[in-house]
Chain A
Amino acid sequence: MRAWRYFLYILIAIILLTLPFYTGVYLLNVIDIILIYLALALSWDMLLRSGQISFGMAGLFGVGGYTAVLLHLNAGVNPLFSIILGGLAAGVLAWVIGMAVLQLRGMYFAIVTLALAEIFRVIVRNLPDLTGGPEGTVLPSAIFSGNSTRTYWLVLAVAVVSVMASEIFRRTRIHFALTSIRNDEVVAKSSGIDVFKYLVFIFMVTSAIQGMIGGAYAHIYGFVSPEGSFSVDFTLLPIAMALLGGMHSTWGPVVGALVLGIVSEFLKLKIPYGHLLVYGLIIVIAILFFPQGIVGTLGQRFKRTGKV
């Protein structure tokens, strides 16, 4: 069984890596977007596993984007490195916010994150000298001069980082901590888990990933703006994907992203507006009728036959 699995993974890896050599530019761009949302969906799920919801993904995403672009433009930082710094900036920000707000969990934390995107948007809009104000800032050229193969590899790398982080969260002691904290904080505390520290840590890590994704996105599209970089798309879609695919797993958000990504491409052709409405509906329907998502519901079916 083991050898089978490795073979499969290597095959998938090869396919993914060589994708640009036999797909057209349009398709590659679509895949780029799907991978970006996939990475975001995973990062959101990782925090969800601790029992906390962040509605502020777009905020951290945009912070990463702005940091990456501004560092590159004003300080001449290498684009790839600036993306990493974008992630770091988002992480530090999350640390500060988390330290303040994660003392109270649940809805208090969630509502604070709800405001994040708006707050950052306002800040960015009101510092025009630094950020280009309401018009945003345009890069003289997109990263790799818009080479779609290199761009794809960048996005793939970002997605892989997200997947790896998600798996690390699942296979190490972090999984136990998250599950305990999510299900029963009292038991977690009584068993020696420092709940607060773990929550801040997870919030920080997932936010850093979101910032990194935002940095990559900004460089790929070559501009940042208050409306564009903090758009509610970057919060709404990943959540819909994670819920659709199935929470608390790596496969769930991946499946959700693939399904929803493909569906949304069709939607954009049929209904030019209103696709955001569909995502909202998906969230509502998912919570009401199948909170386990696709993967979870299928997993239930196979639970009796498969091994744990």
Chain B
Amino acid sequence: MAVLETENLSRNFGGLAALNHVSIEFRKNEILGILGPNGAGKTTLINVIAGIYLPTEGRILFHGQDISELPAHQRCRLGIARTFQLVRPLPGLTLLENVMVGSLFGKGLGQKEARRRAAQLCEFLGLSGVTRDITRMTVLEIKKMEIARALATQPKLLFLDEVMAGLNSDETREMIDLVKKIHSRGITIGIVEHVMRVIRELTDRVVVLDWGEFLAAGPYEEVSNDPRVITAYLGEEA
């Protein structure tokens, strides 16, 4: 049973085909890895699914419903959430307030309830000192905040865009465990990652994109041995 499917999804920017007839599916409760060399279109895929860009061609079906034309905020309320490759904290708000943005608007809770939920999520993710100014936090904390903000909208499908980037070995370990914890709550996860150890440990399946096109899909072991995938990452033999 697919939580989300893309059918022939394409997205052009001027002459550049960032996504080219990509058809993939996110199965219920799985952790799907989204792989590909830089510029393959992974973040674009997330952006189009989340509604930041409209598709040039193709459809997106969320629980069978065509959401291709829906604006981003409605997709969020339906249950699609995401984090950002380059973290985007909101200055002028504390950490807790940042997370509250998600619970206030993604879930439509009243302020008190939203604050409670946000505090709960911060605890769940191991964030402390939530009344601190968002501009004085470590990378790990801000990344956790983004995840909390996304979770606050109570998503059914969560995209994590290079969440491990910039983390050291211990922090990566912590993050991997967190993702597992989140997954255990029944959320389907799409994770864009370059660190293969993470992919190997977390994902049930992966899809590989290259130059905006779908290359392969399947369990990591299979896909990592696919010669086309190897070529995409490492280049051809001379």
> Judging by beta carbons under 8 Å apart, are B92 and A183 in contact?
yes
> Judging by beta carbons under 8 Å apart, are B76 and A189 in contact?
yes
- Give the contact-size bracket for chain A: 20 to 34
* Interface bits A182-193 vs B (CB < 8 Å: 1, else 0): 011011111111
Chain A-chain B contacts (Cβ-Cβ < 8 Å), number: 78
When A190-B82, A191-B153 are in contact, do A184 and B90 touch as well, CB less than 8 Å? yes
The CA-CA distance from A300 to B76 in the complex, in Å, is 35
When A176-B100, A179-B93, A308-B94 are in contact, do A192 and B76 touch as well, CB less than 8 Å? yes
> Judging by beta carbons under 8 Å apart, are A191 and B111 in contact?
no
A193 touches which of B73, B81, B92 (Cβ 8 Å): B73
Does any Cβ of A come within 8 Å of B143's Cβ? no
The CA-CA distance from A194 to B71 in the complex, in Å, is 9
The CA-CA distance from A308 to B98 in the complex, in Å, is 14
> Judging by beta carbons under 8 Å apart, are A191 and B76 in contact?
yes
Does any Cβ of B come within 8 Å of A85's Cβ? no
The CA-CA distance from A188 to B90 in the complex, in Å, is 9
* Interface bits B41-55 vs A (CB < 8 Å: 1, else 0): 000000000111000
The CA-CA distance from A194 to B90 in the complex, in Å, is 17
Contacts of A139-197 to chain B: CB distance below 8 A: 172-173, 176-177, 179-180, 183-184, 186-195
For B77, what are the chain A residues with a Cβ–Cβ distance below 8 Å? 192
The CA-CA distance from A99 to B91 in the complex, in Å, is 28
> Judging by beta carbons under 8 Å apart, are A189 and B81 in contact?
no
When A176-B101, A180-B101 are in contact, do A189 and B93 touch as well, CB less than 8 Å? no
For B193, what are the chain A residues with a Cβ–Cβ distance below 8 Å? none
**How many B residues have CB within 8 A of the partner chain?**
35
Does any Cβ of A come within 8 Å of B97's Cβ? yes
Complex interface: stretch among B102-110, B197-205, B210-218: B102-110
The CA-CA distance from A308 to B73 in the complex, in Å, is 29
The CA-CA distance from A189 to B84 in the complex, in Å, is 13
Contacts of B46-94 to chain A: CB distance below 8 A: 50-52, 71-74, 76-77, 81-82, 84, 88, 90-94
> Judging by beta carbons under 8 Å apart, are A179 and B105 in contact?
no
For A194, what are the chain B residues with a Cβ–Cβ distance below 8 Å? 71, 73-74
B83 to chain A, nearest CB (A): 9
Contacts of B152-177 to chain A: CB distance below 8 A: 152-153
> Judging by beta carbons under 8 Å apart, are B52 and A192 in contact?
no
25 contacts between A and B (CB under 8 A): A176-B93, A176-B97, A176-B100, A180-B101, A183-B91, A184-B88, A186-B52, A186-B84, A187-B88, A187-B149, A188-B101, A188-B105, A189-B52, A189-B71, A190-B76, A190-B82, A191-B105, A191-B149, A192-B77, A192-B102, A192-B105, A192-B106, A248-B92, A308-B94, A308-B133
Given pairs A183-B92, A188-B73, A192-B76, 12 additional interface contacts (CB within 8 A): A176-B100, A183-B90, A189-B71, A189-B72, A190-B50, A190-B52, A190-B150, A191-B76, A191-B102, A191-B105, A192-B107, A308-B131
